[in-house]
Every structure is written in C-alpha cells, then in structure tokens.
Amino acid sequence: MAKFCRHGTLIESCPICRASVELEQRTATQAAAVRRSPPKRTQSSLRPRRASAGGPGRLMIRREVREADDGFRSPLAPGLRSSADGARLAQEIARASRRLEVLRAAPPGLYAEVAGEADLEEASWLAFLIAYLGPLASDDSFATVRERRTSWRGGELPMLDGAALGPRTAHDPERGQATLAAYRRFVERFGSQAAALTAEVSWSEAQRFERLFERLALPGLHRRARYDLLVTLGALGRYPLAGASLLLSEDDAVSRSAKRVFGIGDRLTLERRVRELARACGAPVAAFDLALESWGSPEPIAQGVPVTLDRDAQERAARALGL
C-alpha cells in the first residue's frame, strides 16, 4: 500500500522524506548483518588478563576444586554439594577460630611484639606491616617483615624491592612505597596512629571496626589486609575492635569462597548467612575471613599462627553443617 508523507506526496517521491527512509533501511540491513556474523576476537580480547592483587605482569588463573556431588545438603551452607567440602569447611572454621584464641592468649613471633610493645605507635606500625606484607607460608612466617621493617618514629619507609610476600599480601611491587606513604598521610590527619585507630571513644567495638575499615580504604590496601589488621589489633588487645560482619566490599578470595559455600552472590544475604553459620558453630564471625579463603585455597593458610586443630570446635562446626 502506498504511503504518503506529511508533505502530501508519496514518500518515495518526496525529496525531504525519502532520505530518512533510505537511512532507516540501510541501518536495519547493517544490524541484521551484525546479528548473523560471529563476534570478532580483537587483539585486546586475546591478551591475558592481569591480576591486580598478584602484581602486574602475572597471569591470574583461578582453579576451583569441587568434590563430586554425594547428596550432601546443609541449610546453613546451601552452596555445598559434597560432604568432603563440608568437612573441610568445618576444619577451616575450627582452625581460624583457634588462631584467634592463640592471638589473644599466647601470640607467636612478631605478633607477640605487637602485643607487648610499650610504644603504641611502634606496635601499630608493626601490625600494619604484618597485615600489608602478609606472613609467609614458611617456617619463618615473619622473615620479610623482620628484615624490612622500619621504625615509625624514624619516619623511613621500608624498602620492599624483591621482598618475599605472603599469600594474603596487599603489596604490589609496581606501586612501590605508595601505599605505605598513603597510610602515613592518613595518620597525619589525626596526629597519631593511636588517635586514628581509636577514633570516637563513644563507638562500640563493632562500630569502631566498621568505621575504621571504611577509613582505611587506601590506594593499594585491599579488603583482606584492612580486615586482618583490625582483627589482629583487636585480638592482641591494642585497640577495642570486634568484627561483627565480614564487610565483603570487594570481589576477593573470601567473597568468591563465600559465594560458593552459601550459594548466592548478594552481599547482604552472604553476611546474614555467615552470621547464622558462625552462631551455629559457636565461632566468631571474624574467623570466617581466613576460614573461607583457606577453604578455597589449595593449601591451608596459617597467616603467621600455625595451630593445633581444636577437635571440639571442628565437631561443633561439623554438627552445625549436618555432617
């Protein structure tokens, strides 16, 4: 059927409207051709993705080891399908919980120095270096921190070229000392580390933990390092701090394991399910930061505190999971 345009003539004959009709036809033809043709792989899509946490120039390969589905189901860990995965989770929860107990009662290595150092500024700086560089997965967990540490009062930043780093390190060699310098600038705004890490005296321990976690979001200081720093300072009795939630603010190893265990990606739901499982296990929520990452790793992560497994805690976690 012939169509007339607003100028009272056939569209095909109108010098004004004909151009727009031809443009629409060409656009439709090109769109159809794009839908039929397979997407082209550009040169950028062929390049391996870089791992920001592992340092520039390193290829990130994640391998998630899943046991075969043997019919295991747990309402507290709905993402698990294997009793072997459940048993390993119970073990890591018990191990991480015991680690916090050891930090409170008899901290080993440089953690003992953080707990006993009379100068709170030096103790806080040492705790920051441990969390930032990460204890090594070796017999001498604190070798790098011991060799590279500097005095807070002296003002010199550690030289980290070629330093061995722990599995949970936040240090990126390409950033050099930038994150350490950012921490000192953060402290300067408050006058001291004691003032910066105490903040408002009226806050509860959980409020202080959450507020400081947000304030410490410095360039290069990832979620796990900030969380570990605050957990350590609280467990060692240097500041009134208590982690009441995991504060899953990044897509890191802890968050990925949490999504696998709890079968959901929504962060609010993940936090709720962590609290429910922690309550059922009789374990502190803060222990799940290390427990979840260690569960998802090829080897358990001691994080500077090798512990003897608490069988009672492991059995409580296993019962909570329905094993």
What is the pLDDT averaged over residues 93-108?
A: 97
Q: Are 212 and 247 in contact (CB under 8 A)?
A: no
Helices then strands, counting H and E runs in the chain, come out as: 14, 0
pLDDT tens sequence across 3-15:
555 545 555 555 5
Query: Is pLDDT of 33 > 80?
Result: no
Separation between Cα atoms, residue 277 and residue 34, nearest integer Å? 49
Higher pLDDT, 54 or 205: 205
Report the 10 Å Cβ neighbour count for 116.
Answer: 10
Residue type, 43: Q
Least confident of 52-56, 143-147, 178-182: 52-56
Residue 59's DSSP bridge partners are 50
Three-state SS for 257? Answer: helix
**C-alpha distances out from residue 85 to 90, 167, 310, Å:** 9, 22, 18
| pTM of the full structure | 0.80
Nearest to residue 76, comparing CAs of 228, 286, 288?
Answer: 288
Percent residues over pLDDT 70 in the chain: 80
**Domain locations in the chain?**
84-321
Three-state SS for 50? Answer: strand
Residue 66: per-residue pLDDT:
64
Split at pLDDT 50, 70, 90, the class of 34 is very low
Residue 3: per-residue pLDDT:
55
Residue 67: per-residue pLDDT:
72
Nearest to residue 95, comparing CAs of 241, 226, 288?
Answer: 288
Q: Are 110 and 158 in contact (CB under 8 A)?
A: no
Residue 307 structure tokens: 């512990």
What is the pLDDT averaged over residues 75-88?
A: 97
Residue type, 35: R
Query: Is pLDDT of 38 > 70?
Result: no
Residue 6: per-residue pLDDT:
54
Split at pLDDT 50, 70, 90, the class of 220 is very high
Residue 206: per-residue pLDDT:
97
Report the 10 Å Cβ neighbour count for 292.
Answer: 28
Higher pLDDT, 143 or 60: 143
Split at pLDDT 50, 70, 90, the class of 29 is low
The average confidence (pLDDT) of the chain is 87
Percent residues over pLDDT 90 in the chain: 77
Least confident of 10-19, 69-78, 100-109: 10-19
Q: Which residues contact 26 (CB under 8 A, 6 or more apart)?
A: none
Residue 300 is classified by DSSP as -
Report the 10 Å Cβ neighbour count for 36.
Answer: 7
Split at pLDDT 50, 70, 90, the class of 57 is very low
Separation between Cα atoms, residue 157 and residue 120, nearest integer Å? 18
Split at pLDDT 50, 70, 90, the class of 308 is confident
Residue 110 structure tokens: 């440089």
Q: Which residues contact 135 (CB under 8 A, 6 or more apart)?
A: 109, 141, 142, 145, 166, 168, 302, 303, 304
Q: Are 38 and 282 in contact (CB under 8 A)?
A: no
Residue 37: per-residue pLDDT:
47
What is the pLDDT averaged over residues 130-155?
A: 97
Residue 23: burial class (beta carbons within 10 Å; 0-12, 13-18, 19+):
exposed
pLDDT tens sequence across 275-306:
999 999 999 999 999 999 999 999 999 999 99
Separation between Cα atoms, residue 80 and residue 85, nearest integer Å? 7
